[in-house]
Structure 1
C-alpha cells in the first residue's frame, strides 16, 4: 500500500483535504502537491515534478484537474474505517441482521446472536452503491439541518428578547408595589401626625388650665399677704369668698386629675398585610410559552400558538416572539 503524504486538514476541521509534496515533506517543508505519480505512489509540487520528470520520464502523473485518479486521503480512510462506538477500532465486519458496520468488539458485545455477520471484504460483491445519490441526500439533509440551526439561533434571540422584556416587567411591577407601599406609608404617617397633633393640643390645654389655676391661686395668696392685718373688712370678706371659690375649683380639678394619665403613641402593624406578604414567595410566575414554527414551507404560513386559539401571520422571529408574549400576558386575547 502506498505511503501517502500528510494532509493539511487539521483534526476536527471541515476544510478541504489536501496533500503535501512528498519530497518537500522529507525536508520538513510543507508544500501543497500539484501532481500525483501512480508509479512512485508519491505527490509532487510544481518544482519537484520537474526533477521527477527528468528522472522518470515514463512515469504516469496526474495533475489537479485529474484528482479523481489520486488516491483516497489517509484521513478519509481513517475516518470511514473508524468504528463509531469504539474509536480505537476499525470497522471490519458487517451485520446483515442489524444492517450495521461493526468492529470485533461490537461483534462480540452486540452481535453474538446475529445470524449473518461477515467480513466487509466479503460483503462488497455486487453493484456498487450509488454514492452520488447518497451525497445529494446528505446535502439535502445538511440544508435542512442548517435551517434548523438558524431556527435554534433565532429562537435563542427570541428567548433573550422575552427574558429582557419580562425582566423589565418584573422591575416595573416592583416599582408599582413600591409606589403603593410609599402611598400607604404616607397615609399612615399622616394618621400618626394627626394623632400627635391632637394629643399635643390636649396636653397643652391641660397644661394651660393647670398653669392658669396656679397663677390665680398665687395671686390670691399674695393678695391675702397684702391685706392681712390691714383692717380692711370688705377686702377681707371678698378675698375670703374668692379663696373659698378658687379652693373649691382647685380641689375639684385635683380630684378629676388625681390619676395622671400618660399618653404615648404605639404602632399596631396591619397583620393582614404582613400575613399575606409572608405567604408570597415571588411577585408572579413565569410560563414557558411554545409555538409551532415550520422549518420548511411558506414563510407566510399561519401559525397556531399552543394553548391559545389565536393565530397570527409569521413575522420576523424576534417580532413574532414579542407579539406572542404580549398576547400571552394579555391572557390570550388580542393585542
Structure 2
C-alpha cells in the first residue's frame, strides 16, 4: 500500500474525496527512513510528530526553540491515508513530490528532469502547508455540488412520477373522449330511430287511409258496374236514362276522390345522412388526437394539420354598382341581406322592394326576382340550391329553392316563436337566427323547423329592435358572433364552454353586418368608420380595411373564401361592391 501523510484535521476532506481511510499516529522522522514507529509527542514550533527515540535528537540537532508536549487529542494526530494511487505519477508510477507552478503540473522525481529549466518547481512538503484554506473551499464547493446533484435526482424522481401519472391520465382522457363520442352516436341513433318510428307511424296511417279510401271507392265502382251491366242488358230505356243521369254526378265525385288520392305522396323509403362535420372528422383519421408536451406544445403527424395563426388579407375592388330607383325598382333598393351560393352566384335581399335577387359575378341580375308580401331582412344559403329568408315583422322564415336557370320558388314556410332579424348557417341542417324584442338574443333553428336555445350562454339583459344586432357563426370554433350597434361592441360566445368576450375598439363604430372570413375568422362592417374590421374568434383585431362606400351595412364571403360582397345603407345612391380576397404576404 502506498501512503501519503496529511494532518488529521484534513481527514474529513480526504474521506469525502477518496473514501474510507485508516488512521494511525506515526513519527515523521522515522517515516523518512521507511520506519513506522508510533508518535508520542508533538513539536509545536516545528509542527512535527515524534517518537520517544527521535525526540532527543530533534531537540539537539535542530536549531531554535522546541516546545514539546504529549498529545491526547486524536484530531491533532498524524494519519496515514490510502490515496488510491492519486499520489502516484501516471506517467512514471513514482511518488509525486514536486509541483511546477509554471505548468501547474504535479511531478515525480523523473518529471522534474523535464521541468529542470522551469523557474518555479517546488517540493510538495514545503508548499503543502499552505493548501488547507483551498482544500476547505474545495470541500464546500463539492458539498454544494453534491446538494445540487441530490436536487436533480429528486427532481428526476418527481418528473418520472409525473410522467407516469400523465401518461396514465392521457389514456383515461382518450377513453373518456371515446366514450363521449360513442354516447353521442348512441344518442343520435336513438333520436333517428325515434324520428323514424314517428315518421313510419304517420306515413303508415296516411298509406292506410289512402288504401282504405281507394278500396271503398273500388267497391262502390264494382257495385255500379254490376248495376250498369244489368241495366244495359235488361233495363228499360227509362231505367237506363235515370241511372245514367244519376251516375254522372257520382262519377264526378269518384273522379275527385281519385284525384285527391293520386296527389297524396308517400315516402316508403327512410334513409340516413351524416353531417359534413362527421365525414370531415372521419377523413382526419388518427390525427383527431394530438399529443402535447412541454417544449413542443403540439405534436402533429402531418404538416397539413399544423395550426396557423390568423392572417391579414388584401382586398381588391373588382366591381362597384350604384343602387338607385329605376324602371325595375319601385323605390331605391336597400340590400339588407347578402349571401353566396356554392357556385358563386350572389343572393341579395332587397328590403325596400320586397325581393330576392340572383346576381352573377358581374353583379348583373339573373332571372326574375322573387317577390315577397312583406319586407325580407336576412338570407342564408342552406345547401347548394336552398335559401332561407327571415322577416322581422312576422314570426316566420321561408325556404326557397333556386334552380340552375335562376328560377326561385317558395318551398315551405316555417313558423317560429319570435320575430328574427339575421340568419346564418351553423351546420348543414341547422341555422342560427338573431332575435327581435327577445331577451334570448339568438336561437338555433333546424331546416325542419325545430327551435332550440343556447342553454349555457348568458346574454346581456336587453333586447334589440330591427337592424340593431346581427349574427354569424364560426362552425369550426363553436363561436357565435353577435354585433351590438348602439354599444359599438362585438360579442364572441363560445357555445361549448359557455364563455363570452365583449370586443370594443376605436375602429369598431356602429358594427352592423358580420360574416365568417377565411381562416375561421370574422369580418364586421364598421358603419361609421366606412371600413371592414377583421377579427379572430378570440377578439383580437387582425386588420382594418377601408371600403369605397359610405356606411357599409351588409357583408358576405364566398364559399371558397376568394370574394367578398358589401352593400351600404345611406341616403342617396347606395352601392353594391365585389372584392377579391387574397392572403397578405408576410
TM-score by length of 2: 0.27
Q: Which has the higher strand share?
A: 2
TM-score (norm 1): 0.42
Larger Rg belongs to: 1
